[in-house]
Amino acid sequence: MSQKIYEALRWASSFLREQKRDENAGELLLRYVVQMTRSELLANMHEQLTEQQQQTFTDMVNRHGEGVPIQHMIGQEEFYGRNFAVNGDVLIPRPETEELIWHTLESLSRHFHQKKEMQMADIGTGSGAIAITMKLERPHLTVYASDLSEKALNTAKQNSEALHADIEFLHGDLLGPFIERGIKLDIVLSNPPYIPLTDRKELSPVVVDHEPELALFGGEDGLDIYRRLCEQLPHVLNPQALIGFEIGAGQGKAVSALLQGAFPQAVVEVKNDINGKDRMVFAKI
């Protein structure tokens, strides 16, 4: 006998709590299975699930209990109000990265005043979330996105087509493809791998077993990619430029020092996220 919607939700939240997973995941999975919005689900709490829906839902909740990310099962994640396809080849976009975009958009008009023709790059684009969102929010930008992973670039290309964002994709290591082609940039954004290898043991299996290592770990202290970017940035930036990095909590001082070392004249600023953690560093040149 299949359950009613409210019974299925109650079972899922207590099961996930026991497994030390987010108990709200049950609602997201059930909405996906029955194809309802949140308000529709709440209005239909006493509806009976079909046998097929019940089976699918139970399987998905069990898999999440074992550590499979919800986003990989439903194949997407919302970012800045748009749906992005995600899979095991890319990092699942996080809310903190939405704040990186928000602060960048705030800075653009102030820093560049009336400048219209601007070149922007998203380095290590993954799903394409940063590049695509910036292009759709500010259509006058020329936007490039690069990644070392061809599989990640394929996912980003699919997202750019689905969301009708005109992006130029470059395959290669960090800013290497831009240096080779002589491309000059006004804005460089990046959410690079910043987790120290020593923190590996503390990560949830949902992250460490299912998201690409290339997108997670930044060497022994987590700062390897920032060091390399700061070496390369002087070769690609225009005289007036904006750099925005997402960082791991607690890395603000170290990443600021790297940027200030590369650009002594720059105004470097650490921004906290909504939870009060240092999560972004900006340099205005």
59 marked as part of a ligand binding site:
no
22 marked as part of a ligand binding site:
no
207 is written with which tokens? 């992250």
- Assess contact for 278 and 251: CB atoms under 8 A: yes
The whole-angstrom separation of Cα 107 and Cα 27 is: 37
244 marked as part of a ligand binding site:
no
SS3 162: helix
Q: Which helix (H) or strand (E) holds 85?
A: strand 82-85
Give which of 26, 40, 15, 18 is closest to 73, Cα–Cα.
26
224 marked as part of a ligand binding site:
no
144 marked as part of a ligand binding site:
no
- Assess contact for 232 and 176: CB atoms under 8 A: yes
Residue type, 212: P
199 marked as part of a ligand binding site:
no
Scanning the chain, the segments in alpha helix (DSSP H) are 5-18, 25-34, 38-43, 51-65, 70-74, 95-112, 129-137, 150-162, 176-181, 205-208, 224-232, 252-262
179 is written with which tokens? 């240096």
172 marked as part of a ligand binding site:
no
Binding-site annotation: residue ranges: 124-128, 147, 191-194
Binding-site annotation: residue ranges for substrate: 191-194
Binding-site annotation: residue ranges for S-adenosyl-L-methionine: 124-128, 147, 191
